[in-house]
Chain A
Amino acid sequence: MERGVGFHRYRRHAKSSSASTMVLPNDSNNNTTCNGDQQAPPPPPPPPCMVREQDQYMPIANVIRIMRRILPSHAKISDDAKETIQECVSEYISFITGEANERCQREQRKTVTAEDVLWAMGKLGFDDYIEPLTVYLNRYREAENERNTSHGDQLLFLKRGMEINHHGPIGMPPPYGSGYPMGHFSGMLDAAAAMGGGGYYRDLAGSGASSTAQNALASFDPFVQFK
């Protein structure tokens, strides 16, 4: 891991890996004096200033970015406010996870699930978060399903296209009646269009030779634009 690299921490402590999690008290000025010592080899015995282990917090840049979405453009944020909110986030995660985990233990389950987390939030007063989080989770799940099943569906669609060709030009058979998830299908069409793949169907209709279609299938990669 990045044990030897100190740039993501306020101060590198030679011995610490994940063991030391002492949190710097309010005085953030200590950080700068500690950094001054960085240059001197070999490292002296641990100085009185405390180690602020960054691995137990969200990256401060990300935290600030989210804060800036709320604050007016002229607002400034003091360093201690940034660090405080950074610490609060970690505390929040621990707090919710603790409650969720207790429920798992009571129900003799080993894995803390998304549902457990949502339940814990409701129990601890964060009701307002539950709905947006549920929407977010459902969207994530849909996206995962598309990713996982899209390849099989794509082959199936092209095969169908080939069958239909025997009776005439395809047009674009509307898939909605066939049970394909809408979001998935339009994604695939977009990919085909983006690649000038609309011509695929014309080729299939024109040639009628299955070998050509097979070759087309082999090189068809609707997700190349996502790579």
Chain B
Amino acid sequence: MRQAGVYSGMVSGGRTGPHLLPLARIKKIMKKSGDNVKMISGEAPIVFSKACELFIEELTRRSWMVAMQGKRRTLHKDDVATAIVATDIFDFLVDLVSSGNSINPLDFSPVEMETVLES
């Protein structure tokens, strides 16, 4: 029988479950986000572990829609870049994906872009 994780089994159905993303790593990244990040409460990485799941799911969903639009079955970096450029709240990621080979959103007509991303 699988060893119950610290949080699973305590809550009915174990729905909080063991975390999918390692808390120590999250905390490390948080600390690196600025020189002046001093102390981090124990719960903050917990919130992030779930938030990052949601984030990955949303980014993946949007990227996949771009790939489907191109009738492809393999998700490429370009698809991710396109989804990022087309999503307002992902503006902070634009520089991350813009080095070199990102798709120019002007290549898509506004109607196509709407179609790709509506859901």
Contact = CB atoms under 8 A, between A and B. Distances in A.
Interface in B94-114: 96-97, 99-101
Interface string B41-60: 10110111011111111011
Interface residues of B, number: 62
Which secondary structure dominates chain B's binding surface?
helix
A93 B22 contact: no
A59 B25 CA distance: 9
Contacts, number: 201
Interface residues of A, number: 70
A56 interface: yes
Contacts of B77: 26, 78, 80-81, 83-84
Nearest to A100: B44
A67 B80 CA distance: 12
Contact of B57 (A69, A81, A146, A186): A69
B101 A26 contact: yes
Contact of B51 (A26, A57, A129, A186): A129
B92 A93 contact: no
Given A85-B60, A88-B96, A110-B39, A98 B47 contact: no
Contacts of A69: 57
B26 A93 contact: yes
Contact of B74 (A77, A139, A186): A77
A21 B116 CA distance: 35
A129 B54 contact: yes
Interface string A86-114: 01111111111110110001000011111
Interface of B: 4, 7, 9-12, 15-16, 20-22, 25-26, 28-30, 32-34, 36-41, 43-44, 46-48, 50-57, 59-61, 63-64, 67, 73-77, 79-81, 84, 88-89, 92-93, 96-97, 99-101
Interface of A: 21, 25-26, 55-59, 62-63, 65-67, 69-71, 74-78, 80-81, 83-85, 87-98, 100-101, 105, 110-114, 116-118, 121, 124-126, 129, 132-133, 136-137, 139-143, 146-147, 183, 186-187, 225-226
